[in-house]
């Protein structure tokens, strides 16, 4: 049985991802979750607190994703894993990632972008692969990563697998 606190969290996440933070009122969240509006403030102090709870909840889930790279030894496999991340986002976690990517366009406060955590990892990979300028190549990959994630989250992609293969080919990684 999910507690009402979790119910509020999940409902708010969906609505924030769908309509944006500012455009989603606490009364709408309460109504959608089937709880009284006051309960939101009992559990989360204020609307910002609710957002931070969602972000924290998701950040932990997200960390695990990036740590998955340690399952691979060879830098080629690690790079492959990272490049495939955007295409392997779980459907039920889509709202969270959409919210995260949308938030970075609103004020600088919410810039917990995946790329930030990912950067040192990617630099290390290109160093091992003996690229002449690992930092630069990493910056490029993260830009590409952003573009891929955007395409997936906004459902702009038709042949997901074909695009995935094309990208892997560019770095000479194959299935």
Take residue 94 and report the two structure tokens written for it.
């889509």
Binder to its own copies among 23, 42, 46, 49 (CB under 8 A)? 23
- Interaction of residue 32 with its own copies, rule CB under 8 A: no
| Closest CB to its own copies among residues 62, 137 | 137
- Interaction of residue 147 with its own copies, rule CB under 8 A: yes
Question: Least CB distance from residue 20 to its own copies, whole Å?
Answer: 5
Q: Could you tell me how many residues of this chain bind its own copies (CB under 8 A)? A: 38
Question: Least CB distance from residue 49 to DNA, whole Å?
Answer: 8
**Whole-number Å distance between alpha carbons of 26 and 19:** 13
- Give me the torsion for CA of 5, 9, 11, 12, rounded to 10°: 130
- Interaction of residue 163 with its own copies, rule CB under 8 A: yes
- Give me the torsion for CA of 62, 63, 66, 70, rounded to 10°: -150
Yes or no: say if 16 and 54 are a contact pair by the CB < 8 Å rule.
yes
Q: Is 173 helix (H, G, I), strand (E, B) or coil?
A: coil
The whole-angstrom distance between residue 86's C-alpha and the CA centroid of its chain comes to: 9
Name the one residue in this structure whose structure tokens are 């790279």.
69
| Closest CB to DNA among residues 34, 120 | 34
- Interaction of residue 140 with its own copies, rule CB under 8 A: yes
Q: Which of residues 96-125 bind its own copies (CB under 8 A)?
A: 98, 101-102, 104-107, 111, 115
- Interaction of residue 63 with its own copies, rule CB under 8 A: no
**Whole-number Å distance between alpha carbons of 108 and 36:** 32
The footprint of its own copies (CB under 8 A) covers 18-20, 22-23, 98, 101-102, 104-107, 111, 115, 133, 136-137, 139-140, 142-148, 150-151, 154, 156-159, 162-163, 166-167, 170
């Amino acid at each position: 049985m999910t507690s009402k606190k979790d119910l509020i969290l999940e409902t708010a996440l969906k609505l924030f991802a769908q309509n944006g933070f500012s455009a989603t009122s606490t009364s709408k969240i309460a109504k959608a979750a089937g709880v009284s509006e006051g309960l939101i403030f009992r559990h989360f102090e204020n609307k910002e607190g609710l957002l931070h709870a969602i972000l924290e909840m998701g950040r932990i889930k997200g960390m695990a994703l990036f740590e998955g790279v340690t399952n691979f030894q060879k830098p080629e496999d690690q790079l492959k894993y990272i490049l495939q991340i955007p295409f392997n986002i779980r459907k039920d976690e889509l709202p969270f990632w959409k919210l995260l990517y949308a938030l970075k366009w609103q004020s600088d406060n919410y810039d917990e972008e995946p790329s930030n955590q990912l950067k040192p990892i990617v630099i290390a990979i290109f160093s091992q692969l003996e690229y002449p300028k690992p930092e630069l190549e990493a910056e490029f990959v993260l830009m590409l990563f952003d573009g891929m994630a955007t395409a997936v989250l906004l459902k702009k992609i038709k042949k997901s697998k074909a695009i995935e293969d094309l990208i892997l080919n560019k770095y000479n990684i194959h299935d």
